[in-house]
Amino acid sequence: MASQSDVAKLANVSFMTVSRVVNGDPRVKPETRERVQRAIEELNYYPNAIARALNRQRAMTIGLILQKLDYVLSEPYISHLIYHIEKALIPHDYDMLILSGEHRNGRDLTLLFKQKKVDGVIILGSQMDDPRIAALSANRNPSVLLHAHSDLPFVSCVDVDNYSIIEYFIDYLTALGHRRIAFIGGDSSVLDAYQRLDAYAACVKKRCLPFEQELVFRGNWSSGSGYEAFLHFNELRPRPSAVIASNDHMAIGFLKAAYEHQVRIPEDISLVGIDDIEMAAFTTPKLTTMRQPMQTIASVAVETLVGAMENRDKPASHIILQAEPVIRDSCGPIPKV
Amino acid sequence: MASQSDVAKLANVSFMTVSRVVNGDPRVKPETRERVQRAIEELNYYPNAIARALNRQRAMTIGLILQKLDYVLSEPYISHLIYHIEKALIPHDYDMLILSGEHRNGRDLTLLFKQKKVDGVIILGSQMDDPRIAALSANRNPSVLLHAHSDLPFVSCVDVDNYSIIEYFIDYLTALGHRRIAFIGGDSSVLDAYQRLDAYAACVKKRCLPFEQELVFRGNWSSGSGYEAFLHFNELRPRPSAVIASNDHMAIGFLKAAYEHQVRIPEDISLVGIDDIEMAAFTTPKLTTMRQPMQTIASVAVETLVGAMENRDKPASHIILQAEPVIRDSCGPIPKV
DNA sequence: CTGTTAGCGCATTCAG
DNA sequence: CTGAATGCGCTAACAG
């Protein structure tokens, strides 16, 4: 495998000149540059990323931490988000390591930095009050939380405005006449899930709608838990006339259960989801939901992280993006009893 | 950030001794070892993975190449497979870079090796006759193809026995009385899709079942294409009485379309999928399918790759695993007309 | 059992 | 404009 010295010999220059050519240093005589270029091509030379990383003290790699790899990866929303993250990293020339939060280095994320494996991390779906996040901040390791929040000084966050999402739907559903509005929460250890639930409670109270424990079902983001939510709500008397699911996946599970139990959506129960995953447009009825600005979330997260990696002392930024309602066919006026 | 020399100073030894302690070299006096250990902990020292990689000429990183990141990642089957791959890598202490086949280095995968970024790659869903694969073999870059096949000397493959899968279903369906058995193919540029189609054609001919162009719908693995497949088959006269979908995702799309068009499964049409994704147990009716030995596929792929990385001259191995039928409720006897 | 020397491939610094 | 020296942090090979 050819190194700079090999190229240098062939081109009759010092390896330093080769280095300059490779890095586009302008102060190389065009003639020399061309000679070097030819040697590079002839030897099929490519810079050794590891040697470069050692020298520059930058791995040019970021870590994408997923708490529960198996589970989280199968969320269509997450997988698309990852796609956009990877894409956004390319112009910055960073690579992306996928790490399961539970597995390797499950205890201490700062290890990744101490070992110099990554220059920064993006964390998806972190638990609330995860002590590992605090450790990252304490070490000033560039970190961005996605769909989560933290007040730590060196941990940035990118999230959607969960309060507005819920508020929008509460308004929308009350405008249709609904008052008994139920809620399916996500995995409650995750902040996003918590915020949505919190927003639900706040909005419901603010509008003096019935707020009861049994109107809240604690799911875990999976369609299976949406299915169970239906079973639970279907037993209530009076039954809720509308349901807000914390993500589309659960809404789809709910839809399925409703179908199996001959409960019509939206005639009997109105239903909304959050995310606008691809499948939301293909359910029966088509799902009314809230489109997350995935691509923006991904690019903002990457830009924020790159900024933090290039300037370690930059204080954390907290960016809240707005979601956009997508009204389809899963909501209707409150049924006349 | 502490280095070996820092530790060495504190422990009053040479950095070489520190290196030995870190690497568990037995020939260090226990007393000295302990002193070094304490210094390591006091300074919170961790070996620099990059320096180590440069020296050992091994990045301890593999690349997972996904042809179409956005699309492929959202396949539940794939995301679980990735989970298992990550898990299988941990005991070997390798990290995993996720790379989109289309993006970065889209043209030349050997670049990843020339740059020393990875020691090996696992390629998921490669196109058939992808020239990049040939280049990998020519350079003897350790590579494993998953759900694909190649006869190249230095490219190993791990796949399921597609022929047996199809044959099983053909037998199963003919035993139920079906003769007009239709087929929904996957993205035909992918070898797995091609093999399944090929197996379908071979089995159908062998059993003298009707084989017509219109009984084959070329999908692309997505549930949307399964939906379209239904639309297509539903127009045929006579309509096929059974359908084999090349994956569960398409089968689910088919199911949905059938429901919307008041065609009953399995009363009117029998349907089978392949993969046994989680959702297959939750559809209405529950989907009869073929369970892929995901975990085995992942671990075999990892072991194969690790073997190839540790012995570059090892010839490629071609491993074919068997899938296991999961009979649920989506098939029935041929309807009496 | 421990230390010295050398070098992995590159880029920064300073000379020419 | 180009080259020589130096070091990033670590380990392999050889000395002691």
- DSSP characters over A157-218: EEEE-HHHHHHHHHHHHHHTT---EEEEE--TTBHHHHHHHHHHHHHHHHTT----GGGEEE
For residue B24, give every residue at least 6 positions away whose Cβ sits within 8 Å of its Cβ, in sequence order, or none: none
**Burial category of B311 from C-beta neighbours within 10 Å (exposed 0-12, middle 13-18, buried 19 and up):** exposed
Smallest CA-to-CA distance from A193 within A142, A240, A125 is with A125
Write the CA distances from A308 to A85, A92, A96, A161, A333, integer angstroms.
16, 13, 16, 23, 48
Cα torsion for A296, A301, A306, A309, to the nearest 10°? 170
Smallest CA-to-CA distance from B118 within B316, B309, B313 is with B309
The encoded tokens of residue A295 equal 């691509």
Could you give the CA distance from residue B133 to residue B154 in angstroms, rounded to a whole number? Answer: 10
Could you give the CA distance from residue B250 to residue B247 in angstroms, rounded to a whole number? Answer: 6
- CB–CB of A95 and B100 under 8 A? no
- Please report the domains of chain B, with CATH numbers, ordered by start residue: 4-56 (1.10.260.40), 61-161+294-322 (3.40.50.2300), 162-292 (3.40.50.2300)
Q: Judge contact between A248 and A225, C-beta under 8 A.
A: no
Q: For A36-45, A291-300, A325-334, which range has the lowest pLDDT when averaged over its residues? A: A36-45
Give A40 CA → D2 C1' in Å. Answer: 18
First to last CA, chain B: 79
Q: Which nucleotides of C are covered by protein (CB under 7 A)?
A: 1-5, 7-13
Could you give the CA distance from residue A23 to residue A21 in angstroms, rounded to a whole number? Answer: 5
Query: In Å, how far is A315's CA from the nearest CA of chain B?
Result: 21
Could you give the CA distance from residue B98 to residue B102 in angstroms, rounded to a whole number? Answer: 12
pLDDT at B159: 94
Residue A156 has pLDDT above 90, yes or no: yes
A191 pLDDT band, cuts 50/70/90, is confident
Residues of B in contact with A61 (CB under 8 A): 97
Where do we find the tokens 């191995």? B317
Q: What is the pLDDT of residues A216-247, one digit of tens each?
A: 999 988 888 999 999 999 999 999 999 999 99
pLDDT at A326: 98
Could you give the CA distance from residue B300 to residue B336 in angstroms, rounded to a whole number? Answer: 46
Where do we find the tokens 């089978």? B272
A70 touches chain B (CB under 8 A): yes
Number of C-alpha atoms within 13 angstroms, CB side, residue A201? 12
pTM: 0.90
Residue A292 has pLDDT above 60, yes or no: yes
pLDDT at B68: 76
Average pLDDT over residues A136-148: 93
Query: In Å, how far is A53's CA from the nearest CA of chain B?
Result: 7
Nucleotide D9: closest residue by CA–C1': B51
pLDDT at B28: 86
**Burial category of B317 from C-beta neighbours within 10 Å (exposed 0-12, middle 13-18, buried 19 and up):** middle
- CB–CB of A282 and B97 under 8 A? no
- CB–CB of B59 and A50 under 8 A? yes
Residue A50 has pLDDT above 80, yes or no: yes
A192 pLDDT band, cuts 50/70/90, is confident
Identify the segments of chain B with pLDDT beneath 70: 70, 74, 103-107, 337
**Burial category of A156 from C-beta neighbours within 10 Å (exposed 0-12, middle 13-18, buried 19 and up):** buried
Q: Which nucleotide is nearest to A54 (CA to C1')?
A: D8
Where do we find the tokens 């993975």? B49
Task: Please work out, in degrees rounded to the nearest 5, the angle formed at the alpha carbon of residue A194 by the alpha carbons of A193 and A198.
Answer: 120
Closest-approach residue (CA) in chain A for B106: A90
A107 pLDDT band, cuts 50/70/90, is low
Q: For A72-81, A187-196, A314-323, B275-284, which range has the lowest pLDDT when averaged over its residues? A: A72-81
**Cβ under 8 Å to B: A residues 260-289:** 260, 278-279, 282-284
Residue A105 has pLDDT above 60, yes or no: no
